Amino acid sequence: MSEAQAVDEEHARPEGAPDELVEAVGRASEAFEYVERVRGHLYAAHQLMGRADFLFEEAADLLDGASCPDDADRMRAQVVGRNLLDGRWTFQIMEEFDDVYYDAVKAEVRGLEERHMAGRRHVFEAEMKEGRRTRGRPAHEATPAAKHARAG
């Protein structure tokens, strides 16, 4: 690809796609990136809560060893294994998030890309990159060097 053809085919605007449509699909893609971040935070909460539960169990064992069996029993009965939300541990929250929200949103955004951008992702961002980079400067190349390009 030459410098004159700075946006690669994988990210090129489909013929006839108006600015407003490219921006709209780009905005939906950006919104989905925020959903991806929320999903990551939910997974982090899932892992953190799981670790906390095991630590509370260890604390109960230590309370037993410190001759505080009543406190240990309360910890086990009131905290260890407790639901985070009504009837749910975090794995169930994750599954419900994926099933009710994430999967539908992902399908809709991918559908927009298929219907309007010839299946291409990040068309808006590729054009933004082209407008912001400084041609001819190191680390401002239009596309990766061949040795870094994705295998197709």
Per-residue pLDDT tens digits for 46-66: 999 999 999 999 999 999 999
pLDDT digits (tens, 9 = 90+) for 63-82: 999 999 999 999 999 999 99
Confidence (pLDDT) at 1: 47
What is the distance between the alpha carbons of residues 20 and 116, in angstroms, rounded to a whole number?
11
Number of domains in the chain: 1
Domain-located, residue 17: yes
What is the distance between the alpha carbons of residues 47 and 97, in angstroms, rounded to a whole number?
16
Domain-located, residue 105: yes
Domain-located, residue 21: yes
Domain-located, residue 27: yes
Confidence (pLDDT) at 5: 55
Domain-located, residue 146: no
Q: Containing domain of residue 46, as a range? A: 12-134
Q: Tell me the average pLDDT across 37-48.
A: 98
pLDDT digits (tens, 9 = 90+) for 130-150: 999 999 899 888 888 776 666
